[in-house]
Amino acid sequence: MAQTVAAQRRSIAAMTAQLEAFDEQLVVFERILEPLVEWSSTWARLEEAVGDFVRRDGADGTTSAR
């Protein structure tokens, strides 16, 4: 019985170590994602602004020569 309990405690210790390593990987992943999320948001705003400009510029169905 004592050996079984000791084995279970070792198993829990190993799982804890794996979870800590996984948590550290998630922290790194979050740091990588932060600038990508910001870039994506900036790109979406740019696309919206360009779309608004194009729709406003060609609202009457004609293209203006510049």
Q: Which residues in the chain come in under a pLDDT of 70?
A: 58-66
Q: How far apart are CA 25 and CA 8, in angstroms?
A: 26
State residue 54's pLDDT score.
80
**Dist. CA 34–CA 2, nearest whole Å:** 48
pLDDT confidence of residue 24: 98
- Residue 36 is predicted with a pLDDT of 95
| Cα 29 versus chain centre, distance | 8
Strand, helix or coil at 65? coil
